[in-house]
Amino acid sequence: MTLLFLALAIASEVTATVSLKLSEGFTKPVPSTIVVIGYGAAFYCLSQALKRGMPVGVAYGIWAAVGVVAVAVIGALFLNEKLTLIQVGGIGLVIAGVLALELGGSH
């Protein structure tokens, strides 16, 4: 159940972030509404994962890393944003950092 809440938090946050781009500075009502609901849902679901015992550093690290990767890929595929080799390397470093958090906590 903990991982399900974390996955829902990530999906909500990614949806809200993409909608933030589509809201055009909160001038479009539908994407703007999705932003507010999405971030609210993301924090609620993250809080439920934490409540069920997931360490905050691990939960936040996974949430942030998967969110960064998903938003970058969605931006490149659907929003006509460039993804440079340096950015791809940065994404790799973020993923490596989360792995270090996860593996370091298991000892």
Looking at the whole model, is its pTM more than 0.85?
yes
Mind listing the pLDDT tens digit of every residue in the chain (107 residues)? 999 999 999 999 999 999 999 999 999 999 999 999 999 999 999 999 999 999 998 898 899 899 999 999 999 999 999 999 999 999 999 888 888 887 876 65
Question: Alpha-carbon distance 95 to 99, whole Å?
Answer: 6
